[in-house]
Structure 1
Amino acid sequence: MTQREKAKQPIEADVVVVGGGPAGINAAIAAGRLGARTVLIERYGFVGGMSTAALVYPWMTFHTVEGKQVIGGIADELVRRLQAIGASPGHVRDTVGFVNTITPYHPEVYKTLAVDMLHEAGVKLIAHSFVDSVAMEGDRIAAVRLTSKSGRLEVRGKVFVDTSGDADLAYLSGAPTLQGRDEDGRTQPMTMKFRMRGVDLAKVKQYMLDNPDEFYRKTPIDELESLPLSGVMGFFKQWNAAQLPINRDQVLFFTGPEPDEVLVNTTRVQGLDGTDVEDLTEAEHLGRKQAQQVADFMIRELPGFERASLSQVGAQIGIRETRRIVGRYTLEAADVVEGRRFDDVIARSGYPIDIHDPSGKGVAASWVKGDGAYDIPYRCLLPQRVNNLLVGGRCISTSHEALATTRLTPSCMATGQAAGAAAALAAEQGLAPGELDVRLLQEALRAEGALLV
């Protein structure tokens, strides 16, 4: 069979997952482990999404502010397997002080390990492929159509999972979506992240100990001498004096994976739409210019960076917020802050609401009350109007404010696992995902180590 003839043959699956970021990886592994014929479609030549292409590092957080672990399952298994091969120290204290723990990892090793785990679960990975249209049969998706290096491909399935981050599949299939905050539709800013090598982290830590007022108020200065430095937020004096044309109020970076390396999260591109190709093109250019400006400033002005150099910029700009579905339930800010529980819980999170201002300099944070964690209900994964579609990751059904916690990678991993498991169970039983007994889903998630209480 020629390549052209092969491309004309539909690929058949039980579960089709669109988007190979952390949510999609976990969705596909979960579905494959439950015996579903599973296909994962990814536009890049590697998996990992924002965690690899956009250098969104480290993962935060698997725990509550008090240190109770609330995210487990496949996400935590990935961390343990990275630890076993020396590619992560595991969950470590956050020396920024914003959360209790963060989880550093080596992104290049993660790319490989994730594909190994997909193969172990029997998942077929189709990379270098972009979903650009959907074939509908009434209120069901019959197939997705891809543009690929092999030409046009069609993938048919029983149940589909949208882990694109941008609700691309939901949008193309006609499911209702929202974008941005209610008053003006503006989204949280994009950030072009970059790495620097040659950083003297001992010198950075000593400066923090000598100048505690120059850093975030929750920085654990009293414990810093005994803690490995994992992250830094501050250098207020130097940042304010520099007057860079970036609408942010401090420097933020995280250490590792190498001992002289940091990942800088300081650029800010506002007012552009991450689902508009022209806006994205402009955002990429602005983000790369800002990365060079910030790196030059850090080398020139910050103690410990005198011999540092810019070593890597993200393959794409990091996107915090675009489209999200309108589901059967919309998680609200009050649900998060009050630590609400739901009978149909499929994931929990302890990350606070963390809104990077769509137009200003600051970050607005609201912490979770009670035991420090909130439930994410299954209904947030079920879009309206399309009966054989589930959603996991950044584009689940939330308000603009609640998305500022569910968008974080461990939460996306957890909702991705839930969506994949639900898809496999629904396909096996010949049900629409909305008809599935959520107790069976919860049982399947617990069997894979998910933490639901």
Structure 2
Amino acid sequence: MKKTFEADVVVVGGGPAGIIAAIAAGRQGARTVLIERYGFLGGMSTAALVYPWMTFHTEAGEQVIRGIPQELVDRLIACGGSPGHLRDTVGFVSTVTPYHPELFKVTAIDMLMEAGVKLLLHSFVDDVEVREGRIRSVTLTGKSGRIQVQGSMFVDTSGDADVASLSGAPTRIGRDGDRLTQPMTMKFRMRGVDLGAVKRAMIDNPDNFYRKTPFADLERIPLTGIQGFYAEWKAANLPINRDQVLLFAGPAEDEVLVNCTRVQGLDGTDVEDLTKAEEEGRRQVLMMAEFLQKSVPGFSRASISAVGAQIGIRESRRIDGLYSLTIDDVVSGRKFPDAIARSGYPVDIHDPSGKGVKAAWIGGDGAYDIPYGCLVAKGIDNLLAAGRCISTTHEALATTRLTPSCMATGQAAGTAAALAALQGTSAAEVDANRLRECLRKDGAVV
């Protein structure tokens, strides 16, 4: 016999979007369950070592993501788990937010418990029961066998739109035409790095680094990111299809996160493709570490200290919702009457088949709106999405996929799910004005 749980709101996926969604729903008074397949929380931020969080601000420095995501950062600052928002020394965005992944995992659990959320780890959703256009339950597989979780509202924060796909809701993947997605990256950390030597190399040879690097300020601000070492990378001629080295400093003083491997042409929702990606990504990690040790200043005594538990996935399946955010919406800084989140992160498309990254910046006041329709799935009355699998085009996903934006949509989806569950309405029937009022009350910027 299956064990059964009942809830008002069921959130599937314990990454940053799911954590914030569950906290938001619980705080609204909804009985909330959060389901996560790993034995720890954090999603890409922990399992795949995605670091740091980019960005809570516009290019001009206006903070447009607050609410529960900022509360999480404040809690991390208080326990020594983050220095807060720091200047981005790559220069791509205004700020980045470093954090300690282990302290993040525990802080997230603390906040979930305070909100009264029931947490089910080591639980993989593999079946969704749908009746008359509504999800009745999801079935989990785990150590204790099959578990059924019944709910009034469901929030898909799986990153891969797993619940939407299993429910029969329409989904999309990759770019139109060839369905190719942005490449996957196996991230890893190295300790024993002389970051002083790295900074000196940047100051002494600015032409070897990204043009927007704030060279004039490097002597007085902490080093948070490095993009460049173009000459060293070109000379090495490694079989990795990218055009530069990208590193992020911390969280320790002698530590960096290496974001350089690139695995292309594989589908993050296909188990055979994922197997190939994990194999290729880990081979590239060893290749990259050897290159850094031999060729890059500051790395001669460095060594690998951690590799992601899984490969990082930038793009996979997403819902086809009531509205799909477009590249024009983003670069024009479009405002929507049903806006439930804002973002100042630029468009950042890692080429699905080539070496480069295509970037585009946001016009207007430097931020664009994400409308509520991007969270509402078609065909299933009680399903919302948040995080990487909201409804966008391939190009627009290249900004909404970043963690602070995922957190912001998580707060909106969790709040909307609680309102719908407690009022007995569908996702589409949630009053956007009421939702926006609730979000503002809880500190969000809409």
TM-score range, shorter chain: over 0.9
- Structure 1 segment 409-448 matched on structure 2, within 5 A: 409-448=403-442
What is the DSSP-based 3-state SS (H/G/I as helix, E as strand, rest coil) of the residue aligned with 2:125? strand
1:189 to 178, 183, 186: 183
What is the DSSP-based 3-state SS (H/G/I as helix, E as strand, rest coil) of the residue aligned with 1:76? helix
2:352 pairs with 1:358? yes
Question: 2:9 maps to which residue?
Answer: 15
Cα distance between partner residues in 2 of 1:338 and 1:344: 17
The one-letter code of the counterpart of 1:171 is S
Question: 2:367 maps to which residue?
Answer: 373
What is the DSSP-based 3-state SS (H/G/I as helix, E as strand, rest coil) of the residue aligned with 2:428? helix
2:295 pairs with 1:262? no
**Displacement of 1:222 after TM fit?**
1.1
What is the DSSP-based 3-state SS (H/G/I as helix, E as strand, rest coil) of the residue aligned with 1:97? coil
Cα distance between partner residues in 2 of 1:347 and 1:98: 21
Question: 2:303 maps to which residue?
Answer: 309
Cα distance between partner residues in 2 of 1:408 and 1:204: 26
Cα distance between partner residues in 2 of 1:161 and 1:332: 22
1:116-171 CA deviation, whole Å, 9 max, x = no partner?
10000000000000000011111000000010110000000000000000000000
2:101 pairs with 1:119? no
The one-letter code of the counterpart of 1:268 is R
2:26 to 32, 35, 49: 32
Structure 2 length-normalised TM:
0.99
Question: 1:239 maps to which residue?
Answer: 233
1:173 to 161, 167, 173: 167
Question: 2:79 maps to which residue?
Answer: 85
Question: 1:407 maps to which residue?
Answer: 401
Q: Which moved more, 1:219-228 or 1:275-284?
A: 219-228
Question: 2:319 maps to which residue?
Answer: 325
For the aligned residues, what is the CA RMSD? 0.6
What is the DSSP-based 3-state SS (H/G/I as helix, E as strand, rest coil) of the residue aligned with 1:157? strand
The one-letter code of the counterpart of 2:200 is Q
2:271 to 267, 277, 280: 277
Cα distance between partner residues in 1 of 2:3 and 2:248: 46
Cα distance between partner residues in 1 of 2:277 and 2:249: 25
Cα distance between partner residues in 2 of 1:49 and 1:27: 14
Cα distance between partner residues in 2 of 1:34 and 1:220: 43
**Displacement of 1:315 after TM fit?**
0.2
Cα distance between partner residues in 1 of 2:40 and 2:98: 19
8 Å Cα contact 2:137-2:149 kept in structure 1: yes
1:333-376 CA deviation, whole Å, 9 max, x = no partner?
00000000000000000000100000000000000001100000
The one-letter code of the counterpart of 1:156 is Q
2:43 to 49, 55, 65: 49
The one-letter code of the counterpart of 2:129 is A
Cα distance between partner residues in 2 of 1:186 and 1:67: 33
The one-letter code of the counterpart of 1:157 is G
Question: 2:93 maps to which residue?
Answer: 99
8 Å Cα contact 2:3-2:146 kept in structure 1: no
Cα distance between partner residues in 1 of 2:193 and 2:224: 13
**Runs ≥4 residues deviating over 2 A:** none
Question: 2:197 maps to which residue?
Answer: 203
Cα distance between partner residues in 2 of 1:321 and 1:228: 31
What is the DSSP-based 3-state SS (H/G/I as helix, E as strand, rest coil) of the residue aligned with 2:107? helix
The one-letter code of the counterpart of 1:381 is L
2:223 pairs with 1:229? yes
2:233 pairs with 1:220? no
Cα distance between partner residues in 2 of 1:241 and 1:74: 46
What is the DSSP-based 3-state SS (H/G/I as helix, E as strand, rest coil) of the residue aligned with 2:219? helix
Cα distance between partner residues in 2 of 1:10 and 1:80: 36
Question: 2:337 maps to which residue?
Answer: 343
Question: 2:282 maps to which residue?
Answer: 288
Cα distance between partner residues in 2 of 1:107 and 1:308: 21
Cα distance between partner residues in 2 of 1:421 and 1:286: 40
Cα distance between partner residues in 2 of 1:207 and 1:431: 59
**Displacement of 1:447 after TM fit?**
1.2
Cα distance between partner residues in 2 of 1:384 and 1:286: 36
**Displacement of 1:227 after TM fit?**
1.2
Cα distance between partner residues in 1 of 2:284 and 2:3: 45
Identity %: 70
**Displacement of 1:293 after TM fit?**
0.4
What is the DSSP-based 3-state SS (H/G/I as helix, E as strand, rest coil) of the residue aligned with 1:135? strand
What is the DSSP-based 3-state SS (H/G/I as helix, E as strand, rest coil) of the residue aligned with 2:381? coil
**Displacement of 1:9 after TM fit?**
3.1
2:323 pairs with 1:297? no
1:392 to 386, 396, 403: 386
The one-letter code of the counterpart of 1:206 is R
**Displacement of 1:433 after TM fit?**
1.3
What is the DSSP-based 3-state SS (H/G/I as helix, E as strand, rest coil) of the residue aligned with 1:290? helix
2:153 pairs with 1:159? yes
The one-letter code of the counterpart of 1:355 is I
The one-letter code of the counterpart of 1:80 is D
**Displacement of 1:183 after TM fit?**
2.2
Cα distance between partner residues in 1 of 2:331 and 2:5: 44
